[in-house]
Amino acid sequence: MNIIDAIKRVTSNHDLTKEEMIVIMKDIMSGDTTDAQNAAFLVGLQMKGVKAAEIFGGASVMRALSTKVKIEISNNLIDTCGTGGSGSNKFNVSTAVAFVAASAGAKVAKHGNRGATSKSGSADVLEAAGVNLALEANQVASAINKIGVGFMFAPAHHSAMKHVIAARKEIGIRTIFNLLGPLTNPAAAPNQIIGVFDSDWIPVLLEVLRDLGSSHILIVAAEDGLDEISTASSTILGELCDGEISVNRINPEEFGIERIEDTDIFQVGSPEDSLNLIKQALVYEHQAAGDIVALNAGAAIYVANLADSLIDGVEKAKLIMRSGAALTKLDELVAFTKNPGNI
């Protein structure tokens, strides 16, 4: 199968098998297709509806072509990367979560990028904090091993993505690549908490991650539109654990968190605004921001197998944040990355 065959298939509303998708993705990510062909394929795939086998094929190729961060795989190794695309312009909750989880003993291989649909992506806010994004893969591995958290800047680890940048920018719609980012962690983290923009994707992505060999996964989509566990609404939570998949609805009150009226309070206009709110949240100087970070950090601690339940994880997160350890962990990462030659 070649790209023209694939375009004909998807525009005729026919799915591709895992094997066919792997062949096409290899061609696309190797630069053997044109921008026009890439755009036609991505739009056709989106209009048809992306299926689990196609996501698996795409993720498999991106994983194979990525610049790996080689660290020891453990029960405590996690990522806190989401799909983005919620359009909420909230502060970077999942980035704040990484520092709480690391303070609890997790090894956090944080994977992220600059903001595409938001005012501040994880790379933007970490750069504002002083984190050096231009580390080599071995230096990121050293950060994860020594201080418990490291940041993998997506463009540095997925150079093959350069072949689809033009097509994605010109068509201006969500594509399969919005879903692939969280599935292609360069450190092969077996445990993840992933926020998605639509709960319909939860069972599909859990199935794909199970097939890819993941261990403990939580995927969340709040009913108010946040791609986090929300403190303003119920949240749909899907879990993969020991090969079993389950999907449930949770509420903030179950975890001793007071429900807020809406999430406008979390909106930011710049990476600097996001950083300011993160710093307040990490030490509970801002109650509402602290609560949403604690709730999601508790889930991260649970998925890192450092808590027996979500409730236990949230309680651990609150204690860590109030101790100041999470904010200190952010400062440690900044200092660590400013002297990469000494790593």
Q: How far is CA 110 from CA 48, 136, 141, 253, 294, in A?
A: 32, 15, 11, 28, 17
Asked whether the beta carbons of 336 and 130 are under 8 A apart, the reply is: no
| Same fold across 3-65 and 77-338 | no
Q: Check residue 94 and give its pLDDT.
A: 93
Which amino acid is present at 239? Answer: E
Q: Check residue 116 and give its pLDDT.
A: 60
> What's the pLDDT tens digit per position in 174-229?
899 889 989 999 999 999 999 998 999 999 999 999 999 999 999 999 999 999 99
Asked whether the beta carbons of 91 and 266 are under 8 A apart, the reply is: yes
Pairing of strands 235-241, 216-222: antiparallel
Q: Does domain 77-338 have CATH number 3.40.1030.10?
A: yes
Q: Could you say which residues of the chain have pLDDT below 70? A: 84-88, 116-119, 340-343
First-to-last alpha carbon distance for the chain, in angstroms, is 46
Q: How many CA atoms lie within 13 A of 149 on its CB side?
A: 29
- The whole-angstrom separation of Cα 140 and Cα 152 is 7
What fold does the segment set 3-65 form as a domain? 1.20.970
* Strand, helix or coil for residue 79: strand
Q: In this structure, how many other beta carbons lie within 10 angstroms of the beta carbon of residue 16?
A: 25
The C-alpha angle 313, 316, 320, rounded to 5 degrees, equals 135
Question: What token pair was written down for 296?
Answer: 């999601």
- Which residues is 62 bridged to in the sheet? none
Asked whether the beta carbons of 65 and 162 are under 8 A apart, the reply is: no
Q: Check residue 240 and give its pLDDT.
A: 98
Q: How far is CA 167 from CA 28, 161, 163, 217, in A?
A: 11, 11, 8, 31
Max alpha carbon distance in the chain (Å)? 58
Pairing of strands 191-195, 149-153: unpaired
The DSSP line for 58-74 is: HHHHHHHHS--------
- The whole-angstrom separation of Cα 29 and Cα 42 is 13
Q: Check residue 88 and give its pLDDT.
A: 66
Q: In this structure, how many other beta carbons lie within 10 angstroms of the beta carbon of residue 285?
A: 13
Question: What token pair was written down for 81?
Answer: 């990367």
Evaluate the CA torsion angle 9, 11, 17, 22 in order and state its sign. Answer: positive
- The whole-angstrom separation of Cα 292 and Cα 137 is 31
Asked whether the beta carbons of 152 and 185 are under 8 A apart, the reply is: yes
Question: What token pair was written down for 247?
Answer: 């999907």
Q: Check residue 3 and give its pLDDT.
A: 97
Asked whether the beta carbons of 327 and 310 are under 8 A apart, the reply is: no
Which amino acid is present at 308? Answer: D
Q: Hey, where are the domains in the chain?
A: 3-65, 77-338
Asked whether the beta carbons of 104 and 301 are under 8 A apart, the reply is: yes
Asked whether the beta carbons of 329 and 147 are under 8 A apart, the reply is: yes
Pairing of strands 107-112, 77-79: parallel
